[in-house]
C-alpha cells in the first residue's frame, strides 16, 4: 500500500517533545496524599503524559525484546522505541507509561521513560531508579541497558564528559555481548552524534556511518536513517541523500521524520524538495492537533518546521503561500508558557518575523500598511519587535513615496530615543550619587555609571540606526542621490539595495550588489529576478538573457504576479517566451525517492484549524442543565476545577471573579465545572473572596468526570480529574486550552488572548 494511502488510517495520540518542557522538580517519594491534580507517583509524573496510549501505526519497523507480563507489552515497547528514534519523546513516554500501568514490574518500561526524558535529567533519574529497583525481574541484556543509563545519570563523576564517554563504552559493550542487537547500534549512533555537539568530537563519521549500515543491512527501512541525516547534515549532506529519500517511509506517522529529509535538500540548495517535506510535516502535525486537541506549540519542532517552510517558499517564489503560512503561525493560540512574544522560538515570534521578511522581499508595501492595522503586525510591548514593526512600516511609506507618513514614523522612533536617553541619564546620575555616597574611587565610579547605562545603550543601539535609515529615505524622496555614505545607513538586503541604487544612485553599484546577492543566495529566485531586472534596465541585455535562463530552470513554483517576477515580463516578451514562462520540467531530482505523493492535502490542513469542542451535559446548582448547544452563537470559557477542597482551585476561581465583568463585556460566558455533588457546589461559593460571597459565574456538577475525560482534563493512568481551562467560540470550536497538575492562574492573559482569538 502506498504511503499516501497508509496515512489515511493512522491513529494518533497527544504528543509534546519532552525537551521543550520546563525543568522538573527533583523526584520525590510517592505521595499517598498529593494535592488535587498531582500524581501519586511523585512530582515528576505531574508534567508528563497523563492520558493512556494507543497503538499508533507507522512509528517504525523496530524490535527491542523485553521481559513483560502484559500480552501487548512487547508490541507497545517496540512502538515506544520507534517513537524515540523519531524524537517523538513525549509520545514515547506515554507509551512506556502505558506498559508500566499494565505491568508495574516491567523494568524496561521505566528505562524507556528515562530515555524519553533525555534532556530532562531530573525526571530521568527518577525513572531510572524505578527501573533499577526492578532489575532482578529483567534479563541480562536488559540489565546492561539499565546499568548504562543509571551510570550516565549518576552524580559521579562530576565531569559530564566522562559520563558521556562511559555511556558510549557501555553501549559498545552491549553490542559486544549481543552482536545481533540492532537497536543498540542505532542508539550508539545517535549518542555519538549528540555527544559530538557536547564536547566529544566524532573521530570518523565514516565509522559511524558504517555502524548504521549494519543496521540497514538487517532492516533497510530502519528509523536510524534519521540519525544518518543528522550525522552528515552539517558536514557532507550529499552523503545522506539516500536516507533523505526513504526517511518518510521508516516512520510516516511521525511528522519529524518527514521534516528531517528537508535538512539535506536545503543544505544542497534544493529548496523546492526541502519545502515538500516541511509541508508534509506541517500538515501531519496539524491533523494530529485537530484530532487530539493540543495547542500547536506543544509539539516538538513545530514552529521551527513551519518558519523554515516559509523561508523555503520565499526562496522558490511562492509569495502568497508563504504569507498564508506565516499568518497561520501568528493566528495560533498564544500561551504564557509556550507561545508569546517574549519567547524567540515559538509560533507568534517566528511567524511575525517571517511575515515581515516575506512582505518586504516581495515588495507588498500596501499590504504591510493594511496588516499593520491588524493583529498580524499590531504594536507590541516588546521594544525590539515594535522597532522592527515601525521600520517595516517606514519602508512601506518610503517605497510608496509618502514622505509625510515617513516623517510621522520617524517622530515616533525619536520619542522612544528621547525617553531612553532620559532614562539612561537618570540611572547614571543615580549610580554616580550612589558611588559618591559610598566613597568609590574614579575607576569604580566610572564602572558603576557605565553599568547603569548598559540597558539603555542596548536599546539605543538599534533605535538610532533606524532613525538614520529613515532620514536617508526622506533625503532620497527630496531628490538626493544614494551615495556610499547614505547607503551604509540603510540596513536592507543587498537585492533591495540594488533596486534602490538603480532608482536613486549608481547603476554600476546596482549591478555589483545584485551580483553579490545572487552569489550569496544560490538557487534563490528573488535575488536572481532582481539581478535580471537590474541588468535589463542598465542595458546589459546579453547578461540579462543569460541570467533569465538560470531563473527559468528553478521557476517551477514562482508566483508570476509577485512584483520581483512581474517586472520581468518585458524580458520574457523580448525573448519570445509565453506569458507563463515557468519551466515545466520536474522539480524533483531523480534521487528524491519513491512513494512520495504529488499532493499533500490529504495529510492535513496547511495551517492550524481549531477542533470542534466536545458536547457536555451538566447539572447546575439550581437544578438546570446545560450543554454545548446552550451557548450556541456565544463564546464560553469552561473552568474545570477539582472541588471546593482544592486550595489552588479556589484561588483560581477567585482570580477569575474580579475579571468576570471583562469577560462579560467581551461577550464571553464563564462556567465552572467541578467533580462534586450539587450539595457541595455551595461550599465553593462560600469560599468566594469578594464582598458578594458568591462567584459571579455559575458552578456545575460533573460527578462522574465525564466532561473532564471528554476534554482530556483527566489522568487515565491514575484515574483522576485534572485542572483545565477551555475557550470555545461561537461556532463551537475549541480555541484555547490549558490542562495540568496546577490550575491556570494568569487570567488577565486569558482575557486578552480570548479577545484576540475571537476577533480573528
Residue range 398-425: mean pLDDT, rounded: 96
For residue 70, pLDDT beyond 60: yes
Residue range 524-548: mean pLDDT, rounded: 98
Are 644 and 678 in contact, with CB atoms under 8 Å apart?
no
Q: At 5, is the secondary structure helix, strand, or coil?
A: helix
Q: How many CB atoms lie within 10 A of CB 420?
A: 20
**Tens digit of each residue's pLDDT (9 = 90 or more) over 332-390:** 999 999 999 999 999 999 999 999 999 999 999 999 999 999 999 999 888 899 999 99
Whole-angstrom Cα distance, residue 760 to residue 753?
11
**3-state DSSP: the chain helix, strand, coil percent, rounded to 5?**
60, 5, 35
Report CA 612 to chain centroid distance, whole Å.
Answer: 23
Are 150 and 142 in contact, with CB atoms under 8 Å apart?
no
Backbone angles phi, psi at 116, to 5 degrees: -70, -15
Whole-structure pTM over 0.75, yes or no?
yes
Query: Where does residue 468 rank: exposed (0-12), middle (13-18), buried (19+ CB within 10 A)?
Result: middle
Residues of the chain with pLDDT > 90: what percent? 83
| Higher local confidence (pLDDT), 683 or 471 | 471
Backbone angles phi, psi at 178, to 5 degrees: -130, 75
Report CA 430 to chain centroid distance, whole Å.
Answer: 42
Residue range 38-44: mean pLDDT, rounded: 58
Whole-angstrom Cα distance, residue 162 to residue 156?
9
Whole-angstrom Cα distance, residue 302 to residue 283?
11
Backbone angles phi, psi at 627, to 5 degrees: -140, 180
Are 98 and 52 in contact, with CB atoms under 8 Å apart?
yes
When the pLDDT of each residue in the chain is averaged and rounded to a whole number, the result is 92
Are 506 and 540 in contact, with CB atoms under 8 Å apart?
no
Q: Which of 238, 162, 146, 235 is nearest to 198 (CA)?
A: 162
Kind of pairing between the strands at 734-740 and 723-728: antiparallel
Q: At 673, is the secondary structure helix, strand, or coil?
A: strand
Residue range 561-589: mean pLDDT, rounded: 97
Whole-angstrom Cα distance, residue 116 to residue 124?
8
Kind of pairing between the strands at 636-640 and 669-674: parallel
Are 105 and 131 in contact, with CB atoms under 8 Å apart?
no
Residues of the chain with pLDDT > 70: what percent? 94
Residue range 415-436: mean pLDDT, rounded: 94
Q: Which of 321, 291, 310, 305 is nearest to 352 (CA)?
A: 310
For residue 673, pLDDT beyond 60: yes
CA 743 to each of CA 321, 646, 653, 724, 737: distance values in angstroms, whole numbers, following the listed order: 38, 10, 10, 7, 11
What is the predicted pLDDT for the residue at 27? 38
**Tens digit of each residue's pLDDT (9 = 90 or more) over 597-645:** 999 999 999 999 999 999 999 999 888 899 999 998 899 999 999 999 9
Q: Which of 47, 97, 45, 39 is nearest to 73 (CA)?
A: 97
| Ranges of each domain in the chain | 358-574, 617-759
| Higher local confidence (pLDDT), 744 or 684 | 744
Region of poorest pLDDT, from 16-25, 42-51, 312-321:
16-25
Whole-angstrom Cα distance, residue 501 to residue 134?
73
Q: Which residues contact 384 (CB under 8 A, 6 or more apart)?
A: 462
Q: Listing from the earlier edge strand, what are the strands of the sheet with 669-674?
A: 625-627, 617-620, 699-701, 669-674, 636-640, 723-728, 734-740
| Higher local confidence (pLDDT), 20 or 716 | 716
Residue range 217-240: mean pLDDT, rounded: 96
List, as one string, the DSSP characters of 569-624: HHHHHHTT--SS----S-SS-TTS-SS--S--GGG--SS--PPBPPP-EEEETTS-
H or E element at residue 736: strand 734-740
Are 666 and 751 in contact, with CB atoms under 8 Å apart?
yes
Whole-angstrom Cα distance, residue 11 to residue 318?
32
What is the predicted pLDDT for the residue at 393? 98
Whole-angstrom Cα distance, residue 435 to residue 444?
8
| Residue 236: strand pairing partners | none
The CATH class of 617-759 is alpha beta
Are 24 and 95 in contact, with CB atoms under 8 Å apart?
no
| Residue 339: strand pairing partners | 335
Whole-angstrom Cα distance, residue 743 to residue 643?
12
Whole-angstrom Cα distance, residue 560 to residue 226?
36
What is the predicted pLDDT for the residue at 29? 43
Region of poorest pLDDT, from 36-40, 122-126, 281-285:
36-40
For residue 5, pLDDT beyond 70: no
Angle between helices 383-399 and 347-361 (to 10 degrees): 20
Q: Which residues contact 604 (CB under 8 A, 6 or more apart)?
A: 282, 283, 284, 285, 286, 287, 288, 290
Number of H helices, E strands in the chain: 33, 9
Whole-angstrom Cα distance, residue 511 to residue 507?
6
Backbone angles phi, psi at 678, to 5 degrees: -55, -40
| Residue 737: strand pairing partners | 726
Are 642 and 655 in contact, with CB atoms under 8 Å apart?
no
Asked whether the bond before 619 is cis by omega within 30 degrees of 0, the reply is no
Conformational region of residue 67, where left means phi above 0, alpha means psi within -120 to 50, and beta covers everything else: beta
Region of poorest pLDDT, from 228-237, 472-481, 528-537, 677-686:
677-686
| Higher local confidence (pLDDT), 3 or 429 | 429
Q: In this structure, what C-alpha cell is assigned to residue 283?
A: 500538515
Q: Which of 320, 209, 315 is nearest to 266 (CA)?
A: 315
Region of poorest pLDDT, from 61-75, 101-115, 614-628, 683-697:
683-697
Are 356 and 380 in contact, with CB atoms under 8 Å apart?
no
Region of poorest pLDDT, from 125-139, 283-297, 657-671:
283-297
What is the predicted pLDDT for the residue at 43? 59
H or E element at residue 157: none
Instruction: Kindly state the greatest CA–CA separation across the chain.
Output: 88
Residue range 271-277: mean pLDDT, rounded: 98
Local confidence band at 32 (pLDDT 50, 70, 90 cut-offs): low
Q: In this structure, what C-alpha cell is assigned to residue 121?
A: 535529567
Local confidence band at 1 (pLDDT 50, 70, 90 cut-offs): very low
Backbone angles phi, psi at 676, to 5 degrees: -140, 160
Q: Which of 80, 82, 72 is nearest to 108 (CA)?
A: 80
Q: At 671, is the secondary structure helix, strand, or coil?
A: strand
Are 359 and 323 in contact, with CB atoms under 8 Å apart?
yes
Are 110 and 90 in contact, with CB atoms under 8 Å apart?
no
**Tens digit of each residue's pLDDT (9 = 90 or more) over 620-630:** 988 889 999 99
What is the predicted pLDDT for the residue at 37? 62
For residue 20, pLDDT beyond 80: no
For residue 18, pLDDT beyond 90: no
Amino acid at each position: 500500500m502506498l504511503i499516501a494511502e497508509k496515512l489515511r488510517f493512522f491513529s494518533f495520540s497527544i504528543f509534546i517533545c519532552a525537551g521543550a518542557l520546563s525543568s522538573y522538580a527533583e523526584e520525590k517519594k510517592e505521595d499517598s496524599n498529593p494535592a488535587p491534580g498531582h500524581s501519586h507517583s511523585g512530582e515528576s509524573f505531574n508534567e508528563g503524559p497523563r492520558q493512556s496510549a494507543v497503538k499508533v501505526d507507522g512509528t517504525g519497523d523496530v524490535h527491542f525484546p523485553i521481559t513483560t507480563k502484559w500480552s501487548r507489552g512487547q508490541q507497545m515497547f517496540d512502538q515506544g522505541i520507534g517513537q524515540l528514534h523519531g524524537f517523538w519523546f513525549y509520545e514515547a513516554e506515554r507509551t512506556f507509561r502505558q506498559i508500566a500501568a499494565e505491568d508495574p514490574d516491567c523494568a524496561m518500561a521505566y528505562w524507556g521513560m528515562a530515555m524519553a526524558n533525555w534532556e530532562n535529567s531530573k525526571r530521568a533519574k527518577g525513572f531510572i531508579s524505578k527501573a533499577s529497583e526492578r532489575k532482578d525481574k529483567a534479563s541480562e541484556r536488559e540489565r546492561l541497558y539499565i546499568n548504562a543509563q543509571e551510570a550516565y545519570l549518576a552524580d559521579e563523576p562530576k565531569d559530564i564528559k566522562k559520563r558521556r564517554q562511559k555511556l558510549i563504552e557501555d553501549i559498545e559493550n552491549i553490542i559486544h555481548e549481543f552482536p545481533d542487537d540492532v537497536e543498540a547500534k542505532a542508539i550508539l549512533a545517535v549518542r555519538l552524534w549528540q555527544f559530538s555537539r557536547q564536547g566529544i568530537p566524532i573521530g570518523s563519521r565514516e565509522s559511524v556511518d558504517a555502524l548504521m549500515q549494519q543496521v540497514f543491512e538487517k532492516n533497510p527501512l530502519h528509523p536510524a536513517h534519521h540519525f544518518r541525516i543528522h550525522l552528515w547534515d552539517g558536514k557532507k549532506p550529499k552523503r545522506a541523500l539516500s536516507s533523505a529519500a526513504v526517511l518518510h517511509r521508516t516512520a510516516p506517522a511521525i511528522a519529524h521524520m518527514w521534516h528531517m529529509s528537508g535538512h539535506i535538500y536545503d543544505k544542497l540548495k534544493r529548496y523546492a524538495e526541502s519545502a515538500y517535506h516541511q509541508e508534509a510535516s506541517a500538515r501531519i502535525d496539524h491533523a494530529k492537533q485537530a484530532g487530539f486537541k493540543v495547542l500547536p506549540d506543544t509539539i516538538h519542532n513545530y514552529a521551527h518546521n513551519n518558519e523554515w517552510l516559509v523561508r523555503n517558499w520565499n526562496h522558490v517564489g511562492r509569495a502568497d503561500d508563504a504569507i498564508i503560512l506565516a499568518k497561520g503561525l501568528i493566528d495560533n493560540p498564544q500561551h504564557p508558557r509556550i507561545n508569546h512574544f517574549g519567547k524567540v522560538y515559538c509560533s507568534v515570534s517566528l511567524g511575525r518575523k517571517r511575515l515581515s521578511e516575506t512582505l518586504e522581499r516581495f515588495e507588498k508595501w500596501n499590504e504591510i500598511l493594511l496588516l499593520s492595522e491588524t493583529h498580524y503586525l499590531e504594536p507590541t510591548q516588546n521594544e525590539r519587535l515594535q522597532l522592527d514593526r515601525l521600520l517595516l512600516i517606514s519602508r512601506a511609506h518610503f517605497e510608496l513615496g509618502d514622505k509625510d507618513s515617513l516623517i510621522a514614523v520617524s517622530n515616533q522612533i525619536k520619542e522612544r530615543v528621547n525617553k531612553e536617553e532620559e532614562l539612561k541619564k537618570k540611572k547614571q546620575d543615580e549610580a554616580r550619587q550612589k558611588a559618591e555616597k559610598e566613597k568609590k574611587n574614579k575607576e569604580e565610579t566610572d564602572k558603576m555609571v557605565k553599568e547603569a547605562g548598559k540597558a539603555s545603550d542596548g536599546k539605543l543601539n538599534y533605535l538610532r540606526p533606524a532613525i538614520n535609515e529613515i532620514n536617508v529615505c526622506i533625503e532620497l524622496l527630496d531628490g538626493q542621490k544614494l551615495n556610499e555614505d547614505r547607503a551604509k545607513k540603510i540596513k536592507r538586503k543587498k537585492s533591495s539595495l540594488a533596486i534602490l541604487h538603480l532608482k536613486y544612485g549608481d547603476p554600476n553599484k546596482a549591478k555589483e550588489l545584485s551580483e553579490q546577492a545572487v552569489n550569496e543566495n544560490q538557487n534563490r529566485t528573488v535575488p536572481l529576478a532582481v539581478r535580471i531586472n537590474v541588468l535589463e534596465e542598465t542595458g546589459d541585455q546579453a547578461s540579462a538573457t543569460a541570467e533569465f535562463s538560470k531563473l527559468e530552470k528553478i521557476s517551477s513554483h514562482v508566483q508570476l504576479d509577485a512584483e520581483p517576477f512581474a517586472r520581468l515580463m518585458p524580458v520574457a516578451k523580448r525573448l519570445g517566451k509565453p506569458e507563463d514562462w515557468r519551466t515545466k520540467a520536474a522539480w524533483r531530482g531523480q534521487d528524491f525517492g519513491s512513494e512520495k505523493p504529488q499532493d499533500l492535502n490529504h495529510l492535513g490542513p496547511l495551517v492550524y484549524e481549531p477542533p470542534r469542542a466536545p458536547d457536555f451535559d451538566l447539572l447546575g446548582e439550581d437544578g438546570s442543565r446545560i450543554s454545548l448547544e446552550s451557548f450556541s452563537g456565544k463564546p464560553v470559557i469552561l473552568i474545570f476545577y477539582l472541588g471546593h477542597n482544592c486550595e489552588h482551585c479556589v484561588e483560581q476561581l477567585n482570580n477569575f471573579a474580579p475579571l468576570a465583568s471583562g469577560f462579560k463585556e467581551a461577550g464571553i460566558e464563564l462556567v465552572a465545572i467541578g467533580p462534586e455533588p450539587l450539595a457541595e457546589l455551595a461550599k465553593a461559593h462560600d469560599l468566594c473572596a469578594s464582598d458578594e460571597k458568591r462567584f459571579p459565574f455559575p458552578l456545575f456538577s460533573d460527578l462522574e468526570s465525564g466532561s473532564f475525560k471528554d476534554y482530556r482534563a483527566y489522568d487515565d493512568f491514575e484515574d483522576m480529574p485534572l485542572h483545565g481551562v477551555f475557550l470555545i467560540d461561537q461556532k463551537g470550536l475549541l480555541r484555547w486550552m490549558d490542562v495540568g497538575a496546577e490550575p491556570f492562574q494568569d487570567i488577565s492573559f486569558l482575557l486578552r488572548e480570548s479577545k484576540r482569538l475571537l476577533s480573528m
